[in-house]
Amino acid sequence: MRKPLQIAIILAVLALVALGFGGGCASTSLPPRLTDAQAKAVETTRFKATVGVEPYQFPVYAEKLIRNLRATGLFERVDALAAFAEPPTFVARVDRAIYGTAAIPLWTGLSLGLIPTTVSEQHGHAFSLVPTARREQRIPIVFSYRGPSTLGWWALVLNLTPDRTWRDVYSHPRFIQGLAWQLVAREREISAYAKAGS
């Protein structure tokens, strides 16, 4: 009777370790959920426009912006600015870097994850859409939110709640929807400049 119990304990520990190495020991806050009206507006809006993203001093921010703008499905094409043979409708410029909080989870590491480390982090994008036809104009877009991120085994419990995730928050559907809504909220300006440039 003792041997099956020992095997079960070993398997449980191995499963927890595998989950930890797979990212299960981290929990990040998701952005607020859109209202039904906002979600419907995002679903029904499409821009007859292309977007070329300018390089940024830290390339990862421009790369993330390309990925996320593409994921919204709002534009006909989103790519690096250099990839366009003809000028795109808009040039997207990263205005400032939004990044998380650097923390050394010393006690979490020493306790093998039993003592959690929680920090407040900011996620999002701050950029401008500059119409190619009217370079003196710009449409500032800021999608940003702050929330706690947790490392340690307690993250497994937190990730059972609907407003937390163990995944990269930038690839989560809630993040993409939130960014899309910030663009849809400027629909009149974006559509007007897109029409003027066509």
pLDDT tens-digit readout, 136-148: 899 999 999 999 9
Quick: pLDDT tens for 26-77. Answer: 999 999 999 999 999 999 999 999 999 999 999 999 999 999 999 999 999 9
pLDDT for 2 beyond 90? no
Alpha-carbon span 121 to 118, nearest angstrom:
9
CATH number of the 42-196 domain = 3.30.160
pLDDT value, residue 197: 64
Q: Where are the domains of the chain?
A: 42-196
Give, in degrees to the nearest 5, the angle at Cα 103 between 98 and 107: 155
Which pair of tokens denotes residue 13?
């520990």
- In whole angstroms, give the CA distance from residue 45 to residue 47: 7
Determine the pLDDT at residue 18.
43
Q: What is the pLDDT of residue 112?
A: 81
Of the candidates 105, 128, 143, the one whose C-alpha atom is nearest the C-alpha of residue 189 is 128
Task: Work out the angle at residue 143's Cα, subtended by the Cα atoms of residues 138 and 147, and round it to the nearest 5 degrees.
Answer: 155
Query: Tens of pLDDT along 7-23?
Result: 655 544 444 444 444 44
